[in-house]
Structure 1
Amino acid sequence: MPSTSPTLRQCLDGRRNNLDFIRFVAAVGVIFSHAFPLGQGAGTPEPFEALTHGQMTLGRLCVAVFLLISGVLITQSYERSPSMARYLWARALRIFPGLACVLLATVFLLGPALTELPLAGYFQSPETYLYLLRNLALYQPQWNLPGVFHGNAYPDAVNGSLWTLLYEVGFYLLVAGLGVVGLLRRQVALVAWAVAALVPFVPRVGPRLNLWPELYLYFGGGLLLYLFRERLRMSPWLALGCVGVLVATARWGGLKYAVGSCGTYLVLYLAFLPSRLSSFARHGDFSYGVYVYAFPVQQTVTWLMGGSVAWWVNATLSLPVVVLLAALSWHLVEKRALRLKNSPPVFGFMARFSFGSFRRRG
């Protein structure tokens, strides 16, 4: 008897999904996860971390959700882009305008208002401008601004959430590179996922790769399922089985591997369930803004409360401010930048740099 469950390709071809809602929930989840160390200091127990026996914080799980969704959507974006220039231009517009805005606001508004140094000392310090340049270039990220948040329970760090952007952009380039050389294929993606799972156990090699292997488990999980989209069916029974695997690994170990495989399937299954949440982003896609503004807002709340505050107070006071800033970021910066996707890239060499059609068959 043939299955009546739709394939992932059929789901992706439809216009209605819950992805915007899921990404927003993940961004809010990061706020609640960060509220523990930012309000009460590093090492403060987080319930989800205790539930998983130290395997994963709620924040890391939410980052995994972002990445596995990116694995699907970025690969789809690459295949639908008419040229490499268009693909890179669209990706740059999604990341850098919003990032530049939060960095400028942090350096020239938040920093001067909260620094313990005299204003002259703050603006004369090279660290003030290196913070802006390093974080905008995603090169040697810098977390501190001179004299800012020094007395907080989690001292000095101004926007620790930005660490993930280097990996996100790296995966964008990885998809492009694999596509150019003709390796954006199912077999290659499957081998790459297996390598990412095993390489941390290789002496002297795994530690040097930092978080790349683990984060690729999530991004690569989305990429892999996208390449199998024509055969992969969104079955409620398979989704239920994935829940069982995730619960079991949360207790007995191997959770990050389960999240990168079963978790990817489960998120996609939930993303394409018919619901009213498909219109969640009708007023804007605030998830990126929530993510990049949350950390400095939460640190500011802690600073205003004397340097230490209960996690639930931090999260409750921070959330509405963060959502407001995210809405402003979307309507004033991000949305306007994304309207330029179909305009010629600003760099002349990119406008000429095209490999024609980049549609690949897995």
Structure 2
Amino acid sequence: MTASTLFARLRGRPLAAWIESGRDNMTLTRLLAAVAVLFGHSYALAGLGMAEHDPVRRLLGQTYSHFIGVMMFFTISGLLITLAWQRRPQLAYFLRSRALRILPALLACVAVCALLLGAVFTSLPIADYFSAPATWRYITGNASLIDLQWRLPGVFAANPTTDYVNGSLWTLPVEAGLYLAVAVVGAAGLLTRRTWLATAAVVLLAGGWLYRPLTGPEPVGIETALIAFFAFGALCCINRHWLPLSGALLLAIIAAAWIAYGTPLYQPLLALAIAYGTLWLVYVPRLPQWRLGDLSYGTYLWGFPVQQVLIATTDLREPLLIFAACLLPTLALAGLSWHAIERTALRLKQPARNAAA
């Protein structure tokens, strides 16, 4: 094999060609990411120290299944949100679309958790539960993404993890903040001009957020890592016309990470393998098409409360059994969320035209 042939195989087709082909595995990949979160939380919620038995943690040594799931989400989000702005750079439409994608399903989830699930599982008298300010702060704080609330009074008090009704919500303010960042950069005209200018804008913006955690004494936090994954997806979108996407290049990145295991290079190479591998999974393999709706967000929202309910009402403490038991009810709730709330809300992205216009 000549050097030019090897380089051509490594390079593959540019990302833009895959995007423009009209065929992808986006819905299925997002669902797989949500299921990875569900799988990882099965270990985290099973009891003290059980998270360390997560197979991904034991294999890779640096992360957990649920963190890989959210890393995948943020990589895809960086790509799609940047692409959405470039295709329709209208601030009001962009912000309305993003709000309609996140907020209606979130409000439904936190309201049901507070008003129905909490009322059933609280250890307090029902009158005390509904008179407690924390019950109502759970709805308002979480639905607004401004003041996240983890506890409901007396709910899941006997579970191994008592501090969280829905621990998955922590990523949503980070996601919403990055949407706003794209809106600011886009409204300034930096995402629709020359590729180098858009790249510089994203690098500088992400670098400003990342600089202090990366240079401080504390290790890089997961929130900081998610900003980096979102920025990676955005940069791939901006440079999609020349950026190569191929299985051979993915294997080369994985091999480099494996060789670097135990060195300071391992963590960034592992992160690159996860982010690049996510885009490869979205576009390159010809996977079966998922036709039951986009259940990823609903699975992400409902998985944690469903697992807490199962742990509270059964003797399940084995993570794999918790995962197996929660999968179908979570997907059922996700399907209800998609068909009854999310899809309906997305139809409101484009306001009806004035009939007299």
Q: TM-score range by the shorter chain?
A: 0.7 to 0.9
State how far apart, in whole Å, the 1-side matches of 2:260 and 2:299 are. 30
Corresponding residue for residue 334 of structure 1: 342
Q: CA RMSD in A?
A: 2.3
State how far apart, in whole Å, the 1-side matches of 2:51 and 2:246 are. 39
Secondary structure of 1:27's aligned partner: helix
State how far apart, in whole Å, the 2-side matches of 1:149 and 1:6 are. 51
Partner letter of residue 63 of structure 2? M
Corresponding residue for residue 34 of structure 1: 41
Q: Is the 8 A contact 2:254 2:270 kept in 1?
A: no
Please tell me whether residue 283 in structure 1 is matched to residue 316 in structure 2: no
Alignment partner for residue 312 of structure 1, among 313, 320, 338?
320
1:223 to partner: Cα distance? 0.6
State how far apart, in whole Å, the 2-side matches of 1:264 and 1:201 are. 19
CA deviations 1:129-170 (Å, max 9, x no partner) are 000010011112111000100110111310000000000111
State how far apart, in whole Å, the 1-side matches of 2:42 and 2:109 are. 20
1:295 to partner: Cα distance? 0.3
Corresponding residue for residue 199 of structure 2: 186
Alignment partner for residue 15 of structure 2, among 8, 27, 46?
8
State how far apart, in whole Å, the 2-side matches of 1:67 and 1:77 are. 15
State how far apart, in whole Å, the 2-side matches of 1:100 and 1:195 are. 32
Corresponding residue for residue 215 of structure 1: 226
Partner letter of residue 203 of structure 1? G
Please tell me whether residue 81 in structure 1 is matched to residue 92 in structure 2: no
Corresponding residue for residue 301 of structure 1: 310
State how far apart, in whole Å, the 2-side matches of 1:160 and 1:224 are. 29
Secondary structure of 1:223's aligned partner: helix
Please tell me whether residue 121 in structure 1 is matched to residue 167 in structure 2: no
Q: Is the 8 A contact 2:68 2:274 kept in 1?
A: no
Give the alignment's TM-score, normalised by structure 2. 0.88
Q: Is the 8 A contact 1:52 1:251 kept in 2?
A: no
Question: Structure 2: which 5+ runs fail to align?
Answer: 192-197
Alignment partner for residue 147 of structure 1, among 149, 154, 158?
154
Secondary structure of 2:244's aligned partner: coil
Q: Is the 8 A contact 1:245 1:262 kept in 2?
A: no
Alignment partner for residue 90 of structure 1, among 56, 73, 97?
97
State how far apart, in whole Å, the 2-side matches of 1:26 and 1:8 are. 21
1:250 to partner: Cα distance? 5.4
- Compared with structure 1, are the counterparts of its residues 189 and 260 closer, same or farther at alpha carbon in structure 2 (3 Å cutoff)? farther
Partner letter of residue 89 of structure 1? R
Give the alignment's TM-score, normalised by structure 1. 0.87
Alignment partner for residue 267 of structure 1, among 266, 275, 278?
278
* Number of residue-to-residue matches in the alignment: 339
State how far apart, in whole Å, the 2-side matches of 1:275 and 1:332 are. 30
- Compared with structure 1, are the counterparts of its residues 248 and 337 closer, same or farther at alpha carbon in structure 2 (3 Å cutoff)? farther
State how far apart, in whole Å, the 2-side matches of 1:171 and 1:259 are. 23
Corresponding residue for residue 203 of structure 1: 216
State how far apart, in whole Å, the 2-side matches of 1:28 and 1:298 are. 13
1:215 to partner: Cα distance? 1.4
Q: Is the 8 A contact 2:213 2:224 kept in 1?
A: yes
CA deviations 1:246-278 (Å, max 9, x no partner) are 43455545555335434322221221124142x
CA deviations 1:158-200 (Å, max 9, x no partner) are 0000000000111101111111223331123344555666542
Q: Is the 8 A contact 1:245 1:258 kept in 2?
A: yes
Q: Is the 8 A contact 1:186 1:224 kept in 2?
A: yes
